[in-house]
Amino acid sequence: MAFKEKFIAMYNFSNISFKKSSANENQCPKDGFQEFAMIGRSNVGKSSLINSILNKKNIAKTSKKPGKTQLINHYFIENNFYIVDLPGYGYTKLSKKKSEIILNLSFDYILNREKLLKIFLLIDIRHKPLEIDIDFIDFLISENKNFNIIFTKADKLKKINIKEHCKDYFKQLKKPGIDSTFFISSSTKNIGISEIRRNIKKSVV
């Protein structure tokens, strides 16, 4: 078996199951397992990426219509930890009131979840820093939350430009002290999936 195939096999997840959906943080599982949460702007490709990471085609429901995820969804991995699909932010096709309710759901989880080990913030690789993403990064920094950026939709850019584009993103952010570890991903081309799994496995305490 070639090194690439061995690497992928070594960091595959197993024994994956959907645990539950929760309408608030108090309804989330109380079994004490550590959690890795994923969040991003509406239509960033979060559900598709989660399906790729879990290697389950439809475990996280995808939709071309933004705003599909409106609850906190827990996926139990290897009887050891959770990957959590949080509602996104920046919905343009929902009412302002509905958008605020969804965003507050994610805020409540991030601020109060004791077993939250790390947040993966998904950013569309095609864009320069957007104000809504910068505001969310500022929020995470202000609350001293551990997070890394995952750049999505890498298949939409020429390969030669990708890494420099990502590094330039951090330069434009101008956020001293931000963790500059990032992941480049594409759910359609299976780019970066093994690296994200590896980071999660190595982070479990």
Report how far residue 17's alpha carbon sits from residue 60's, in angstroms, rounded to the nearest whole number.
11
Q: pLDDT digits over 93-127, tens only?
A: 666 677 777 778 999 999 999 999 999 999 999 99
pLDDT for 92 equals 60
Band the pLDDT of 197: cuts 50, 70, 90. Answer: very high
* Other beta carbons less than 10 A from residue 72's beta carbon: 24
As a whole number, the mean pLDDT across the chain is: 88
Tokens 């507050």, residue located: 104
Q: pLDDT digits over 49-85, tens only?
A: 999 999 988 888 765 555 456 899 999 999 999 999 9
pLDDT for 24 equals 93
Give 3-203's CATH code, choosing from 1.10.645.10, 3.40.50.300, 3.40.640.10, 3.40.50.261: 3.40.50.300
Band the pLDDT of 133: cuts 50, 70, 90. Answer: very high
- How long, in residues, is the chain? 205
pLDDT for 5 equals 60
Axis crossing angle, helix 193-203 with helix 46-54, rounded to the nearest 10: 70
**Of residues 99 and 191, more confidently modeled:** 191
Q: What is the 3-state secondary structure (H, E, C) of 133-191?
A: HHHHHHHHHHCCCCEEEEEECHHHCCHHHHHHHHHHHHHHHCCCCCCCCEEECECCCCE
Domain ranges (residues) in the chain:
3-203
24-28, 113-117, 155-159, 172-176: range with lowest mean pLDDT: 172-176
Most confident of 23-37, 97-111, 153-167: 23-37
DSSP three-state, residue 128: coil
Residue type for 29, please? P
pTM above threshold 0.85:
yes
DSSP three-state, residue 124: strand
